[in-house]
């Protein structure tokens, strides 16, 4: 039995390949993929690099653990369990699940706290082990989170990395009711961040140069949306806060201007969170951090329990996560989906199951 999977060829080219349909081993399940999100890191590390870079380092993503060549990409998996391996008792065929996208040894302290991300032997779906851009995926039963009624596979996939990352960053920044939170970068992660900061009761100022993303942020609850290309966003944030600056600023962009604006628009005794990946940024610590008594957090992905908490909240509360998903394309149109995600003229883009 074979299945379809996707491989990246470099220079924004990709192809379908036939791969053997995997079999679940002990402690594993086989998932029929129903939704697989496209994450910014897929674009930056897999889709955009040149053919030479792709050939030399099929996944240049990881500075921490060398990635394995030939891995099926896709690290936001959700679907239905169609086979259960030996020793799995809490999951059954027919269960709908999303997968926390990092697996570990399950024994070390990082794993036992649910932060498999910091396991010395961590392996992520789509980077170090086969992922979700395929018809089927084998997952560790321990990484599966059952989707409650009312939580869609698309939402589950979104939580596996993008929305989970924003949820954790929001927890780190801990906006309180009545505070002002300024968020920089409104891609799939930043838009989810707007929803969570708003749900915490903050006044949200959302910043992004792309008009469609500002419109989406406003539709998702942002109180003010600023175009950093049209004027000084930092000055505008001071104006909106009686000259004090924002209580909390979060950079979801990963760009140097976004990070610097996050530092500069935070108030004295404020908090900043850096979430967006890559790029070098030169900081002048005295004026930008020390003299304003700033608390600066780094926030990387989330833990298994935090992803679980988010999914349970989605079942209970009317968080408009589904509305941040602007494009749902069937698997056979994954190439078009990547082109849309790459253009930036979108919110979250999610691949869904097609007839095959």
Binding site for Zn ion (CB under 5 A): 39, 41, 104-105, 108, 111, 119, 161
The conformational region for residue 35 under phi > 0 = left, psi -120 to 50 = alpha, else beta, is beta
Are 213 and 238 a contacting pair, CB within 8 Å?
no
Find the shortest distance in angstroms from Cβ 114 to Zn ion. Answer: 11
Find the shortest distance in angstroms from Cβ 200 to Zn ion. Answer: 23
Please tell me the total number of residues recorded for the chain in this structure: 356
- Kindly tell me which of 233 and 341 has the beta carbon lying closer to Zn ion: 341
The string of DSSP letters for 151-216 reads --HHHHHHHHTHHHHHHHHHHHH---TT-EEEEE--SHHHHHHHHHHHHTT-EEEEE-S-HHHHHH
Find the shortest distance in angstroms from Cβ 104 to Zn ion. Answer: 4
Find the shortest distance in angstroms from Cβ 185 to Zn ion. Answer: 14
Are 123 and 67 a contacting pair, CB within 8 Å?
no
Find the shortest distance in angstroms from Cβ 170 to Zn ion. Answer: 16
Element (H, E) at 272: strand 266-274
- Kindly tell me which of 232 and 344 has the beta carbon lying closer to Zn ion: 344
- Kindly tell me which of 39 and 261 has the beta carbon lying closer to Zn ion: 39
- Kindly tell me which of 39 and 275 has the beta carbon lying closer to Zn ion: 39
- Residue 101 dihedral angles phi and psi, to the nearest 5°: -85, 5
C-alpha–C-alpha distance, residues 179 and 106, integer Å = 38
The two structure tokens encoding residue 143: 């990484």
- Kindly tell me which of 120 and 211 has the beta carbon lying closer to Zn ion: 120
């Amino acid at each position: 039995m074979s299945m379809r999977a996707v491989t990246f060829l470099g220079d924004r080219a990709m192809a379908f390949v036939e791969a053997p349909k995997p079999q679940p081993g002990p402690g594993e399940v086989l998932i029929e993929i129903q939704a697989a999100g496209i994450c910014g890191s897929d674009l930056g590390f897999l889709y955009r690099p040149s053919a030479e870079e792709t050939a030399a380092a099929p996944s240049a993503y990881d500075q921490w653990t060398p990635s394995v060549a030939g891995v099926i990409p896709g690290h936001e998996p959700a679907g239905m369990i169609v086979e259960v391996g030996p020793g799995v008792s809490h999951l059954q065929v027919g269960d709908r699940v999303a997968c926390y996208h990092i697996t570990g040894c399950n024994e070390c302290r990082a794993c036992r706290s649910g932060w498999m991300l910091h396991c010395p032997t961590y392996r992520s779906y789509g980077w170090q082990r086969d992922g979700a851009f395929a018809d089927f995926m084998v997952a560790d039963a321990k990484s599966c989170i059952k989707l409650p009624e009312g939580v869609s596979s698309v939402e589950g996939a979104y939580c596996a990395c993008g929305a989970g990352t924003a949820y954790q960053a929001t927890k780190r920044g801990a906006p309180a009711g009545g505070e002002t939170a300024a968020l920089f970068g409104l891609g799939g992660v930043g838009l989810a961040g707007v929803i969570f900061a708003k749900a915490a009761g903050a006044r949200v100022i959302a910043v992004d140069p792309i008009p469609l993303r500002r419109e989406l942020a406003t539709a998702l609850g942002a109180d003010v949306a600023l175009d950093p290309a049209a004027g000084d966003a930092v000055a505008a944030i001071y104006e909106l806060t009686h000259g004090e600056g924002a209580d909390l600023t979060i950079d979801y962009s990963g760009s140097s201007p976004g990070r610097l604006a996050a530092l500069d628009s935070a108030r004295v005794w404020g908090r900043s969170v850096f979430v967006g990946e890559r790029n070098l940024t030169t900081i002048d610590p005295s004026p930008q951090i020390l003299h304003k008594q700033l608390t600066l957090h780094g926030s990387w992905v989330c833990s298994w329990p935090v992803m679980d908490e988010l999914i349970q909240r989605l079942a209970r509360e009317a968080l408009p996560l589904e509305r941040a998903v602007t494009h749902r394309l069937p698997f056979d149109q994954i190439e078009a989906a990547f082109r849309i995600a790459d253009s930036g003229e979108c919110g979250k883009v999610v691949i869904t199951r097609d007839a095959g």
